[in-house]
Amino acid sequence: MMYLSNKKTIMFITGAFVSHACWKEWIVFFENKGYKIVAPPWLHKNEFAVDLRHAHPNSKIASIQLTDLLDYYTEIIDKLPEKPILIGHSYGGLLTQLLIQKELGYAGICINSIPPSNILYCNFSLCKIVWNTSVFFSSSSKTYLMPFKVWQQLFTNEMTFEEQKESYEALLIPESKLIMRDIFTKTGKIDFKKKHDPLLFISGSQDALIPPSLNYSNFKKYKNLHSITCYKEFQDSNHLSIIQKNWETIAEFIANWLTKIT
């Protein structure tokens, strides 16, 4: 396919616990539509998931905090020829919102996004995973490795056991405990009244970690009347919808949305 000169750069931003390999099919999809793609791994995570698990506990990964990731992505964006379209999943959705707030993105797509710290919510699944990775009860110098059972319950529900096992082995990586704590700090705060570049929130009806109600609340908090903020819920989609069988339906919706704002 011939690349179109008016197409922009897309940056994929991975979430916590998941290898950047999750974007493999998405990269091909959007490259075939003429976009230039960058999909950097998180700090200290540029290895296969199995190798990162073998290195657990990993002190370098354990040291990562939200401010580190914001500085890291800011530095990458500053080196690009233009402000990219940001597509973030889960924790990457929160990063996308924060980077848009810093005026570093042309547009932002937040898939099953962890909400900013200044949204009042009480979600058992999200609080449970934060509790499990809490620095208050274990050393913050060591990474947290999510058990397969938790992966099944919160990330890959609605998938077959074979799909759950395959995705766990291919994508699950150790995570920083500090990263999860930082969800609740002022670093993760959004000024919802500030004018911003276009934002699209995508939720999954079967998301056991960030349910649609929480995602919708995040979307509704944005109050600037001069900014584009959109929301779409996909049926039968779980938290790891970017690798589910219907991932291409979500990707096509995003591509169509982008044509309306570019």
Q: Tens of pLDDT along 99-139?
A: 999 999 999 999 999 999 888 555 666 777 777 666 556 67
pTM higher than 0.75: yes
- Cα separation, 51 vs 35, in Å, equals 31
225-241 exposure pattern, b = at least 16 Cβ within 10 A, e = fewer = eeeebebeebeebbbbb
49-65 exposure pattern, b = at least 16 Cβ within 10 A, e = fewer = beebbebeebeebbbbb
Amino acid at 219: F
Taking the CA atoms of 143, 132, 245 and 248 in sequence, report the sign of the dihedral they define: negative
Tokens linked to 72: 């890291």
Per DSSP (E only), the strands in 101-195 are: 107-111
Phi, psi of 38 (to 5 degrees): -130, 135
Q: What is the pLDDT of residue 135?
A: 53
- Cα separation, 181 vs 262, in Å, equals 36
- Is there a cis peptide before residue 84, judged by omega within 30 degrees of 0? no
Q: What is the pLDDT of residue 2?
A: 35
The tens digit of pLDDT for each residue in 19-32 reads 999 999 999 999 99
Rg value, the chain, Cα: 17
Segments of the chain scoring below 50 in pLDDT: 1-5
Q: How far is CA 234 from CA 39, 129, 205, 212, 248, in A?
A: 24, 24, 6, 9, 12
